[in-house]
A and B are shown apart, each in its own frame.
Chain A
Amino acid sequence: MKLASLDYMEEVKRRSNADAAYLELAKGNNESYTLVLEAEPAQGVMETIIVGFDNVDGKLDQVWLGQRPTQFTLSAPYGVWVDILRGKMGATKAITMRKLRTQGPFLQLLQGANRILRWVEILRTIPTEFEGSYAQYNLKGQA
Protein backbone atom coordinates (compact mmCIF):
# COMPACT_ATOMS: atom_id res chain seq x y z
CA MET A 1 0.00 0.00 0.00
CA LYS A 2 1.07 3.57 -0.67
CA LEU A 3 3.08 5.24 2.07
CA ALA A 4 0.89 7.58 4.09
CA SER A 5 -2.34 6.58 2.38
CA LEU A 6 -5.37 6.10 4.63
CA ASP A 7 -5.08 2.33 4.14
CA TYR A 8 -1.46 2.56 5.22
CA MET A 9 -2.33 4.57 8.30
CA GLU A 10 -5.04 2.09 9.27
CA GLU A 11 -2.48 -0.68 8.92
CA VAL A 12 -0.03 1.31 11.07
CA LYS A 13 -2.73 1.50 13.72
CA ARG A 14 -3.58 -2.19 13.49
CA ARG A 15 0.00 -3.37 13.73
CA SER A 16 1.02 -0.90 16.44
CA ASN A 17 -1.90 -1.79 18.65
CA ALA A 18 -1.12 -5.49 18.22
CA ASP A 19 2.53 -5.14 19.22
CA ALA A 20 3.06 -5.91 22.90
CA ALA A 21 6.56 -4.42 23.02
CA TYR A 22 5.36 -1.15 21.53
CA LEU A 23 2.34 -0.94 23.81
CA GLU A 24 4.51 -1.46 26.86
CA LEU A 25 6.81 1.38 25.80
CA ALA A 26 3.89 3.62 24.86
CA LYS A 27 1.83 3.04 27.98
CA GLY A 28 0.45 6.32 29.33
CA ASN A 29 1.17 8.20 26.11
CA ASN A 30 -1.61 10.55 25.00
CA GLU A 31 0.19 12.61 22.39
CA SER A 32 -1.03 13.55 18.94
CA TYR A 33 1.12 13.82 15.84
CA THR A 34 1.12 15.33 12.38
CA LEU A 35 3.55 13.88 9.87
CA VAL A 36 4.44 16.02 6.84
CA LEU A 37 6.03 14.25 3.88
CA GLU A 38 7.21 17.13 1.75
CA ALA A 39 6.99 17.05 -2.04
CA GLU A 40 10.15 16.45 -4.06
CA PRO A 41 9.16 17.12 -7.67
CA ALA A 42 12.66 16.33 -8.90
CA GLN A 43 12.19 12.82 -7.54
CA GLY A 44 8.67 12.48 -8.87
CA VAL A 45 6.96 13.20 -5.56
CA MET A 46 4.64 15.94 -6.75
CA GLU A 47 2.46 16.63 -3.72
CA THR A 48 3.17 17.11 -0.03
CA ILE A 49 1.37 14.46 1.99
CA ILE A 50 0.09 15.22 5.48
CA VAL A 51 -1.25 12.58 7.84
CA GLY A 52 -1.90 12.42 11.54
CA PHE A 53 -2.80 10.21 14.45
CA ASP A 54 -3.30 10.34 18.16
CA ASN A 55 -2.63 8.01 21.06
CA VAL A 56 -4.87 7.14 23.96
CA ASP A 57 -2.85 5.54 26.73
CA GLY A 58 -0.32 4.38 24.16
CA LYS A 59 -2.77 2.91 21.68
CA LEU A 60 -3.22 4.55 18.31
CA ASP A 61 -6.77 5.88 18.31
CA GLN A 62 -7.67 8.01 15.32
CA VAL A 63 -5.66 8.20 12.11
CA TRP A 64 -6.40 10.75 9.42
CA LEU A 65 -5.29 12.37 6.20
CA GLY A 66 -4.67 16.14 6.12
CA GLN A 67 -3.79 18.60 8.83
CA ARG A 68 -5.31 19.09 12.25
CA PRO A 69 -3.94 20.77 15.38
CA THR A 70 -1.67 18.25 17.11
CA GLN A 71 0.85 18.34 19.93
CA PHE A 72 3.73 17.41 17.62
CA THR A 73 4.39 18.04 13.94
CA LEU A 74 7.25 16.21 12.27
CA SER A 75 8.24 17.44 8.81
CA ALA A 76 10.82 16.26 6.30
CA PRO A 77 11.28 15.80 2.57
CA TYR A 78 9.70 12.58 1.34
CA GLY A 79 13.14 10.99 0.85
CA VAL A 80 14.05 11.40 4.53
CA TRP A 81 10.99 9.36 5.50
CA VAL A 82 12.01 6.75 2.94
CA ASP A 83 15.54 6.64 4.41
CA ILE A 84 14.11 6.13 7.90
CA LEU A 85 11.81 3.34 6.76
CA ARG A 86 14.64 1.67 4.85
CA GLY A 87 16.84 1.79 7.94
CA LYS A 88 19.35 4.10 6.27
CA MET A 89 18.81 6.72 8.94
CA GLY A 90 17.68 6.28 12.54
CA ALA A 91 14.52 8.12 13.49
CA THR A 92 15.95 9.72 16.62
CA LYS A 93 19.15 10.65 14.78
CA ALA A 94 16.99 12.27 12.09
CA ILE A 95 15.29 14.28 14.83
CA THR A 96 18.46 15.36 16.63
CA MET A 97 20.16 16.22 13.32
CA ARG A 98 17.08 18.21 12.32
CA LYS A 99 16.65 16.18 9.16
CA LEU A 100 13.24 15.56 10.63
CA ARG A 101 12.02 18.96 11.80
CA THR A 102 9.92 18.89 14.90
CA GLN A 103 7.37 21.26 16.32
CA GLY A 104 6.38 20.49 19.87
CA PRO A 105 8.25 19.86 23.14
CA PHE A 106 11.54 18.50 21.86
CA LEU A 107 12.70 16.92 25.10
CA GLN A 108 9.40 15.13 25.55
CA LEU A 109 9.78 13.71 22.08
CA LEU A 110 13.29 12.42 22.74
CA GLN A 111 12.24 10.93 26.06
CA GLY A 112 10.03 8.65 24.00
CA ALA A 113 12.95 7.56 21.81
CA ASN A 114 12.65 3.84 22.54
CA ARG A 115 8.98 3.94 21.71
CA ILE A 116 9.70 5.74 18.45
CA LEU A 117 12.40 3.25 17.47
CA ARG A 118 10.09 0.32 18.13
CA TRP A 119 7.36 2.04 16.17
CA VAL A 120 9.61 2.47 13.15
CA GLU A 121 10.45 -1.25 13.35
CA ILE A 122 6.72 -1.94 13.13
CA LEU A 123 6.37 0.38 10.14
CA ARG A 124 9.11 -1.54 8.35
CA THR A 125 7.01 -4.67 8.48
CA ILE A 126 4.26 -3.07 6.38
CA PRO A 127 4.41 -3.73 2.62
CA THR A 128 4.98 -0.18 1.38
CA GLU A 129 5.00 1.47 -2.03
CA PHE A 130 6.92 4.74 -2.39
CA GLU A 131 6.31 7.56 -4.84
CA GLY A 132 8.38 8.56 -7.87
CA SER A 133 11.97 7.45 -8.09
CA TYR A 134 11.76 6.11 -4.54
CA ALA A 135 9.63 3.24 -5.88
CA GLN A 136 12.85 1.28 -6.35
CA TYR A 137 13.03 1.01 -2.53
CA ASN A 138 9.51 -0.37 -2.00
CA LEU A 139 9.31 -2.51 1.13
CA LYS A 140 8.10 -6.09 0.82
CA GLY A 141 7.15 -6.14 4.47
CA GLN A 142 5.94 -9.06 6.53
CA ALA A 143 2.51 -10.54 7.05
Chain B
Amino acid sequence: MVTMKAVVLRGAGQVEVVEGARPQPGPGEALIRVGYCGICGSDLEAFQTGMYEAGLVIGHEFAGTIAALGPGTAGWQVGDRVVASDAIPCYECGPCREGRLDACQALTMVGVTHDGALAEYVCMPVRGLHRLPPAVSLRQGALAEPLAVALNAVRRSRLRIGDRALVMGAGPIGLLTLQSALVAGARMVAVTEVEPARAAVARRLGATAVLDPARENVGVALASLTDGLGPDVVYVCTGAPEPFRDAISLVRKGGQVFVVGLCVAPVEADLMSVAMGDLCIEGSLAGRATFPAAVDLIAQRRVDVEALVSHEISLDEVPAAFAWLTAGGSGAVKVLARIGGEA
Protein backbone atom coordinates (compact mmCIF):
# COMPACT_ATOMS: atom_id res chain seq x y z
CA MET B 1 0.00 0.00 0.00
CA VAL B 2 1.29 3.44 -0.92
CA THR B 3 0.88 5.70 2.06
CA MET B 4 0.85 9.39 2.86
CA LYS B 5 0.63 11.69 5.86
CA ALA B 6 -2.64 13.46 6.56
CA VAL B 7 -4.32 15.49 9.31
CA VAL B 8 -7.36 13.63 10.56
CA LEU B 9 -10.18 14.95 12.74
CA ARG B 10 -10.96 12.43 15.50
CA GLY B 11 -13.63 14.44 17.33
CA ALA B 12 -14.05 17.67 19.24
CA GLY B 13 -10.62 18.97 20.19
CA GLN B 14 -8.84 16.07 18.55
CA VAL B 15 -6.78 16.21 15.37
CA GLU B 16 -3.73 14.14 14.62
CA VAL B 17 -1.27 13.48 11.84
CA VAL B 18 -1.58 9.90 10.64
CA GLU B 19 0.03 7.73 8.01
CA GLY B 20 -2.73 6.35 5.81
CA ALA B 21 -3.45 5.08 2.35
CA ARG B 22 -2.79 7.46 -0.51
CA PRO B 23 -6.05 7.90 -2.48
CA GLN B 24 -6.33 6.74 -6.07
CA PRO B 25 -8.02 8.96 -8.66
CA GLY B 26 -11.30 7.59 -9.97
CA PRO B 27 -13.03 8.50 -13.24
CA GLY B 28 -12.97 12.25 -13.79
CA GLU B 29 -10.56 12.79 -10.91
CA ALA B 30 -7.02 14.01 -10.47
CA LEU B 31 -4.64 13.06 -7.70
CA ILE B 32 -3.04 16.27 -6.54
CA ARG B 33 0.22 16.52 -4.65
CA VAL B 34 -0.55 19.30 -2.19
CA GLY B 35 1.94 22.16 -2.07
CA TYR B 36 0.29 24.35 0.52
CA CYS B 37 -2.96 24.17 2.46
CA GLY B 38 -4.43 26.89 4.64
CA ILE B 39 -6.21 26.46 7.95
CA CYS B 40 -9.66 28.00 7.63
CA GLY B 41 -11.91 29.33 10.38
CA SER B 42 -14.38 26.59 9.50
CA ASP B 43 -11.64 23.99 10.13
CA LEU B 44 -11.22 25.49 13.59
CA GLU B 45 -14.98 25.39 14.17
CA ALA B 46 -14.92 21.71 13.24
CA PHE B 47 -12.01 21.14 15.60
CA GLN B 48 -13.83 22.86 18.46
CA THR B 49 -17.22 21.24 17.89
CA GLY B 50 -16.34 17.95 16.21
CA MET B 51 -19.07 18.73 13.69
CA TYR B 52 -17.49 16.70 10.85
CA GLU B 53 -17.40 12.95 10.70
CA ALA B 54 -14.62 11.40 12.78
CA GLY B 55 -11.78 10.13 10.64
CA LEU B 56 -12.12 12.85 8.00
CA VAL B 57 -9.01 14.42 6.51
CA ILE B 58 -9.68 18.16 6.84
CA GLY B 59 -8.45 21.14 4.79
CA HIS B 60 -9.91 22.76 1.69
CA GLU B 61 -7.80 25.85 0.90
CA PHE B 62 -5.00 24.42 -1.14
CA ALA B 63 -2.87 24.46 -4.26
CA GLY B 64 -0.78 21.68 -5.71
CA THR B 65 0.45 19.76 -8.69
CA ILE B 66 -1.35 16.97 -10.54
CA ALA B 67 0.43 13.70 -9.75
CA ALA B 68 -1.89 11.26 -11.51
CA LEU B 69 -5.08 11.24 -13.50
CA GLY B 70 -8.05 8.91 -13.61
CA PRO B 71 -9.92 8.04 -16.81
CA GLY B 72 -12.03 10.75 -18.45
CA THR B 73 -9.71 13.62 -17.60
CA ALA B 74 -8.72 14.76 -21.10
CA GLY B 75 -7.17 18.20 -21.20
CA TRP B 76 -5.24 17.79 -17.97
CA GLN B 77 -1.60 16.75 -17.58
CA VAL B 78 0.49 15.35 -14.80
CA GLY B 79 2.54 18.30 -13.57
CA ASP B 80 -0.19 20.91 -14.05
CA ARG B 81 -0.16 23.39 -11.17
CA VAL B 82 -3.73 23.78 -9.96
CA VAL B 83 -6.15 25.06 -7.38
CA ALA B 84 -9.52 23.44 -6.83
CA SER B 85 -12.95 24.59 -5.86
CA ASP B 86 -13.74 22.99 -2.54
CA ALA B 87 -17.45 22.88 -3.39
CA ILE B 88 -18.39 19.81 -5.43
CA PRO B 89 -21.81 20.14 -7.07
CA CYS B 90 -23.91 17.27 -8.43
CA TYR B 91 -24.50 18.95 -11.83
CA GLU B 92 -27.91 17.23 -11.91
CA CYS B 93 -30.28 19.12 -9.58
CA GLY B 94 -32.42 22.11 -10.51
CA PRO B 95 -30.03 24.86 -9.33
CA CYS B 96 -27.07 23.08 -11.00
CA ARG B 97 -28.96 22.89 -14.30
CA GLU B 98 -29.67 26.60 -13.97
CA GLY B 99 -25.94 27.20 -13.55
CA ARG B 100 -26.20 28.04 -9.84
CA LEU B 101 -23.64 25.48 -8.77
CA ASP B 102 -23.04 26.99 -5.30
CA ALA B 103 -26.75 26.44 -4.60
CA CYS B 104 -26.56 22.74 -5.54
CA GLN B 105 -29.07 20.75 -3.55
CA ALA B 106 -26.58 17.91 -3.08
CA LEU B 107 -23.43 20.00 -2.63
CA THR B 108 -20.50 18.23 -1.06
CA MET B 109 -17.23 19.79 -0.01
CA VAL B 110 -13.68 18.60 0.16
CA GLY B 111 -12.36 18.65 3.70
CA VAL B 112 -15.94 18.71 4.99
CA THR B 113 -17.74 15.74 3.49
CA HIS B 114 -14.80 14.22 1.52
CA ASP B 115 -11.22 13.76 2.61
CA GLY B 116 -9.41 17.06 2.26
CA ALA B 117 -6.07 18.62 1.58
CA LEU B 118 -4.22 18.88 4.88
CA ALA B 119 -2.46 15.86 3.47
CA GLU B 120 0.32 15.05 1.08
CA TYR B 121 -2.22 14.10 -1.61
CA VAL B 122 -5.89 14.72 -2.30
CA CYS B 123 -8.23 13.52 -5.05
CA MET B 124 -10.46 16.10 -6.74
CA PRO B 125 -12.86 16.09 -9.72
CA VAL B 126 -11.10 17.82 -12.62
CA ARG B 127 -14.27 19.81 -13.33
CA GLY B 128 -13.45 21.95 -10.31
CA LEU B 129 -9.76 22.51 -11.12
CA HIS B 130 -8.18 25.76 -12.27
CA ARG B 131 -4.66 26.05 -13.65
CA LEU B 132 -2.32 28.49 -11.98
CA PRO B 133 -0.41 30.88 -14.25
CA PRO B 134 3.38 31.11 -13.74
CA ALA B 135 2.92 34.42 -11.89
CA VAL B 136 1.08 32.69 -9.06
CA SER B 137 3.03 30.49 -6.66
CA LEU B 138 1.44 27.48 -4.98
CA ARG B 139 1.70 29.37 -1.69
CA GLN B 140 -0.35 32.21 -3.17
CA GLY B 141 -2.64 29.79 -4.93
CA ALA B 142 -3.65 28.25 -1.62
CA LEU B 143 -5.40 31.53 -0.91
CA ALA B 144 -7.42 31.46 -4.15
CA GLU B 145 -10.26 29.64 -2.39
CA PRO B 146 -10.89 32.22 0.36
CA LEU B 147 -10.44 34.98 -2.22
CA ALA B 148 -13.06 33.30 -4.42
CA VAL B 149 -15.40 33.27 -1.42
CA ALA B 150 -14.83 36.99 -0.85
CA LEU B 151 -15.21 37.86 -4.54
CA ASN B 152 -18.41 35.85 -4.71
CA ALA B 153 -19.80 37.73 -1.72
CA VAL B 154 -18.97 41.14 -3.16
CA ARG B 155 -20.27 40.17 -6.59
CA ARG B 156 -23.50 38.83 -5.10
CA SER B 157 -23.98 41.86 -2.84
CA ARG B 158 -25.60 45.14 -3.83
CA LEU B 159 -22.31 47.05 -3.77
CA ARG B 160 -21.97 49.49 -6.66
CA ILE B 161 -19.08 51.67 -7.81
CA GLY B 162 -18.80 54.60 -5.43
CA ASP B 163 -20.64 52.92 -2.58
CA ARG B 164 -19.42 52.82 0.99
CA ALA B 165 -18.98 49.55 2.81
CA LEU B 166 -18.18 48.17 6.23
CA VAL B 167 -16.37 44.87 6.68
CA MET B 168 -16.89 43.41 10.15
CA GLY B 169 -13.90 41.30 11.08
CA ALA B 170 -10.38 41.39 9.64
CA GLY B 171 -9.70 37.69 9.50
CA PRO B 172 -8.65 36.25 6.14
CA ILE B 173 -12.16 36.43 4.66
CA GLY B 174 -12.66 39.96 5.96
CA LEU B 175 -9.30 41.15 4.60
CA LEU B 176 -10.05 39.58 1.21
CA THR B 177 -13.56 41.07 1.24
CA LEU B 178 -12.00 44.46 1.97
CA GLN B 179 -9.72 44.13 -1.06
CA SER B 180 -12.53 42.75 -3.24
CA ALA B 181 -14.79 45.67 -2.36
CA LEU B 182 -12.01 48.12 -3.25
CA VAL B 183 -11.40 46.31 -6.57
CA ALA B 184 -15.17 46.51 -7.19
CA GLY B 185 -15.06 50.29 -6.85
CA ALA B 186 -16.11 51.09 -3.30
CA ARG B 187 -15.02 54.62 -2.41
CA MET B 188 -14.83 53.88 1.30
CA VAL B 189 -14.34 50.59 3.10
CA ALA B 190 -14.15 50.67 6.87
CA VAL B 191 -13.22 47.59 8.88
CA THR B 192 -14.03 46.61 12.46
CA GLU B 193 -11.48 44.46 14.27
CA VAL B 194 -10.41 44.05 17.89
CA GLU B 195 -7.16 42.16 17.25
CA PRO B 196 -4.31 44.69 16.73
CA ALA B 197 -2.29 42.52 14.34
CA ARG B 198 -5.26 41.99 12.06
CA ALA B 199 -6.22 45.66 12.27
CA ALA B 200 -2.71 46.59 11.13
CA VAL B 201 -3.01 44.35 8.07
CA ALA B 202 -6.38 45.91 7.22
CA ARG B 203 -4.79 49.36 7.29
CA ARG B 204 -1.95 48.21 5.03
CA LEU B 205 -4.45 46.75 2.58
CA GLY B 206 -6.29 50.02 2.09
CA ALA B 207 -9.06 50.20 4.70
CA THR B 208 -10.31 53.77 4.94
CA ALA B 209 -10.65 53.34 8.68
CA VAL B 210 -10.14 50.47 11.09
CA LEU B 211 -12.43 50.67 14.11
CA ASP B 212 -12.06 48.75 17.35
CA PRO B 213 -15.57 48.00 18.66
CA ALA B 214 -14.17 47.22 22.09
CA ARG B 215 -12.74 50.71 22.42
CA GLU B 216 -14.85 53.05 20.31
CA ASN B 217 -18.42 53.67 19.27
CA VAL B 218 -18.53 52.24 15.75
CA GLY B 219 -21.86 53.89 14.95
CA VAL B 220 -20.50 57.34 15.75
CA ALA B 221 -17.34 56.74 13.74
CA LEU B 222 -19.27 55.42 10.75
CA ALA B 223 -21.63 58.38 10.83
CA SER B 224 -18.68 60.71 10.37
CA LEU B 225 -17.38 58.59 7.47
CA THR B 226 -20.71 58.37 5.66
CA ASP B 227 -22.30 61.80 6.06
CA GLY B 228 -24.48 60.42 8.82
CA LEU B 229 -26.06 57.79 6.58
CA GLY B 230 -24.25 54.57 7.42
CA PRO B 231 -22.59 52.21 4.95
CA ASP B 232 -24.46 50.96 1.88
CA VAL B 233 -23.37 47.38 2.50
CA VAL B 234 -22.15 45.72 5.68
CA TYR B 235 -20.23 42.48 5.16
CA VAL B 236 -20.25 40.32 8.26
CA CYS B 237 -17.06 38.29 8.09
CA THR B 238 -16.72 36.93 11.59
CA GLY B 239 -17.80 33.85 13.49
CA ALA B 240 -18.92 35.82 16.56
CA PRO B 241 -22.62 36.56 17.08
CA GLU B 242 -22.34 40.21 18.20
CA PRO B 243 -21.39 41.67 14.81
CA PHE B 244 -24.40 40.01 13.17
CA ARG B 245 -26.65 41.83 15.63
CA ASP B 246 -24.80 45.13 15.29
CA ALA B 247 -24.75 45.08 11.49
CA ILE B 248 -28.49 45.66 11.32
CA SER B 249 -28.21 48.90 13.23
CA LEU B 250 -25.08 50.12 11.44
CA VAL B 251 -26.15 49.75 7.80
CA ARG B 252 -27.90 52.69 6.14
CA LYS B 253 -31.65 52.67 5.63
CA GLY B 254 -32.35 50.65 2.49
CA GLY B 255 -28.91 49.06 2.68
CA GLN B 256 -27.75 45.48 2.77
CA VAL B 257 -26.26 43.21 5.39
CA PHE B 258 -24.29 40.50 3.63
CA VAL B 259 -23.33 37.44 5.65
CA VAL B 260 -20.04 35.79 4.70
CA GLY B 261 -18.81 34.55 8.07
CA LEU B 262 -20.03 31.35 9.65
CA CYS B 263 -21.46 31.87 13.12
CA VAL B 264 -22.26 28.62 14.89
CA ALA B 265 -23.84 30.32 17.91
CA PRO B 266 -27.46 31.52 17.68
CA VAL B 267 -27.80 35.19 16.84
CA GLU B 268 -30.41 37.44 18.42
CA ALA B 269 -31.69 39.55 15.56
CA ASP B 270 -33.65 42.79 15.70
CA LEU B 271 -35.91 42.00 12.76
CA MET B 272 -38.13 44.97 13.49
CA SER B 273 -35.24 47.19 12.43
CA VAL B 274 -34.93 45.11 9.26
CA ALA B 275 -38.50 45.96 8.31
CA MET B 276 -38.36 49.57 9.46
CA GLY B 277 -35.02 50.12 7.83
CA ASP B 278 -36.09 48.55 4.54
CA LEU B 279 -33.03 46.33 4.81
CA CYS B 280 -31.88 43.35 2.81
CA ILE B 281 -30.06 40.45 4.47
CA GLU B 282 -28.33 37.97 2.22
CA GLY B 283 -25.55 35.46 2.41
CA SER B 284 -23.33 33.36 0.21
CA LEU B 285 -21.38 30.13 0.45
CA ALA B 286 -18.20 29.27 -1.39
CA GLY B 287 -17.33 30.87 -4.72
CA ARG B 288 -17.00 28.29 -7.40
CA ALA B 289 -17.72 30.74 -10.22
CA THR B 290 -15.22 33.31 -9.00
CA PHE B 291 -12.15 31.05 -8.89
CA PRO B 292 -10.84 32.19 -12.31
CA ALA B 293 -11.14 35.83 -11.28
CA ALA B 294 -9.46 35.07 -7.96
CA VAL B 295 -6.49 33.46 -9.70
CA ASP B 296 -6.17 36.34 -12.19
CA LEU B 297 -6.45 39.05 -9.52
CA ILE B 298 -3.65 37.37 -7.57
CA ALA B 299 -1.54 37.12 -10.74
CA GLN B 300 -2.17 40.79 -11.53
CA ARG B 301 -1.23 41.75 -7.94
CA ARG B 302 -4.54 43.58 -7.62
CA VAL B 303 -5.28 41.54 -4.52
CA ASP B 304 -2.45 40.97 -2.07
CA VAL B 305 -2.77 37.52 -0.56
CA GLU B 306 0.79 37.34 0.80
CA ALA B 307 -0.07 40.07 3.31
CA LEU B 308 -2.45 37.66 5.01
CA VAL B 309 0.05 34.90 5.66
CA SER B 310 1.18 35.28 9.26
CA HIS B 311 2.53 31.76 9.82
CA GLU B 312 3.92 28.98 7.64
CA ILE B 313 4.12 25.61 9.38
CA SER B 314 4.77 21.99 8.50
CA LEU B 315 2.07 19.32 8.29
CA ASP B 316 3.36 17.83 11.54
CA GLU B 317 2.81 21.15 13.30
CA VAL B 318 -0.88 21.40 12.31
CA PRO B 319 -2.36 19.76 15.46
CA ALA B 320 -0.42 22.13 17.69
CA ALA B 321 -1.51 25.06 15.50
CA PHE B 322 -5.17 24.09 15.95
CA ALA B 323 -4.66 24.23 19.69
CA TRP B 324 -3.04 27.68 19.79
CA LEU B 325 -5.34 29.14 17.15
CA THR B 326 -8.43 28.19 19.15
CA ALA B 327 -6.93 29.30 22.45
CA GLY B 328 -7.44 32.93 21.40
CA GLY B 329 -5.10 35.89 21.22
CA SER B 330 -2.74 34.19 18.80
CA GLY B 331 -2.40 37.27 16.60
CA ALA B 332 -2.50 34.97 13.59
CA VAL B 333 -4.19 35.92 10.34
CA LYS B 334 -3.69 33.06 7.90
CA VAL B 335 -1.73 29.97 8.83
CA LEU B 336 -0.47 27.94 5.87
CA ALA B 337 0.79 24.40 6.08
CA ARG B 338 3.74 23.90 3.74
CA ILE B 339 3.37 20.31 2.61
CA GLY B 340 5.08 19.64 -0.69
CA GLY B 341 6.09 23.29 -1.14
CA GLU B 342 6.59 24.76 -4.61
CA ALA B 343 8.23 21.66 -6.05
Contact = CB atoms under 8 A, between A and B. Distances in A.
Interaction A to B: yes
A35 to B, nearest CB: 10
A67 B272 contact: no
Interface in B225-276: 228, 245-246, 249-250, 253, 268, 270, 272-273, 276
A105 B249 CA distance: 7
A69 B228 contact: no
Contacts of B246: 103
Contacts of B214: 69
Nearest to B246: A103
Contact of A36 (B223, B270, B276): B223
A104 B245 CA distance: 8
A83 B53 CA distance: 61
Contacts of B218: 69
Contacts of A27: none
B270 A69 contact: no
Contact of A75 (B215, B223, B270): B223
Contacts of A36: 220, 223
B276 A75 contact: no
Interface in B174-224: 213-221, 223
Given A34-B217, A73-B220, A103 B250 contact: yes
B272 A107 contact: yes
A130 B324 CA distance: 55
Contacts of A75: 219-220, 223, 228
Q: Pick the most buried of A50, A52, A67: most chain B CB atoms within 10 A of its CB.
A: A67
Q: Pick the most buried of A38, A101, A103, A105: most chain B CB atoms within 10 A of its CB.
A: A103
B273 A106 contact: yes
Contact of A105 (B223, B245, B253): B245
Contacts of A52: 217
A92 interface: no
Q: Pick the most buried of B215, B246, B249: most chain A CB atoms within 10 A of its CB.
A: B249
Q: How many of chain A's residues touch chain B, expressed as a range?
A: 20 to 34
A21 B249 CA distance: 30
B276 A106 contact: yes
Nearest to B271: A107
A73 B276 contact: no
A107 B270 contact: yes
B217 A69 contact: yes
A70 interface: yes
Nearest to A101: B228
Given A69-B214, A103-B249, A106-B276, A34 B270 contact: no
Nearest to A70: B217
A84 to B, nearest CB: 18
A63 to B, nearest CB: 15
A69 B272 contact: no
B216 A69 contact: yes
Contacts of B276: 106
B249 A50 contact: no
A108 B268 CA distance: 12
B236 to A, nearest CB: 16
A2 interface: no
Contacts of B250: 103
Contacts of A68: 216-217
Q: Pick the most buried of B214, B220, B245, B272: most chain A CB atoms within 10 A of its CB.
A: B220
Contacts of B270: 105-108
Contact of B217 (A67, A98, A105): A67
Interface in A68-124: 68-70, 73, 75, 98, 101-108
A102 B215 CA distance: 20
Given A67-B220, A75-B223, A75-B228, A102 B272 contact: no
A120 to B, nearest CB: 22
Contacts of A38: 228
A103 B277 CA distance: 11
A102 B221 CA distance: 14
A104 B220 contact: no
Nearest to A52: B217
Given A75-B223, A107-B272, 11 more contacts: A50-B217, A50-B220, A67-B220, A68-B217, A73-B220, A75-B228, A101-B228, A104-B249, A105-B245, A105-B268, A108-B270
7 contacts: A67-B216, A67-B217, A73-B217, A75-B220, A75-B223, A105-B273, A106-B272
The 5 closest A-B pairs by CB, nearest first: A103-B219, A67-B217, A103-B249, A73-B219, A106-B273
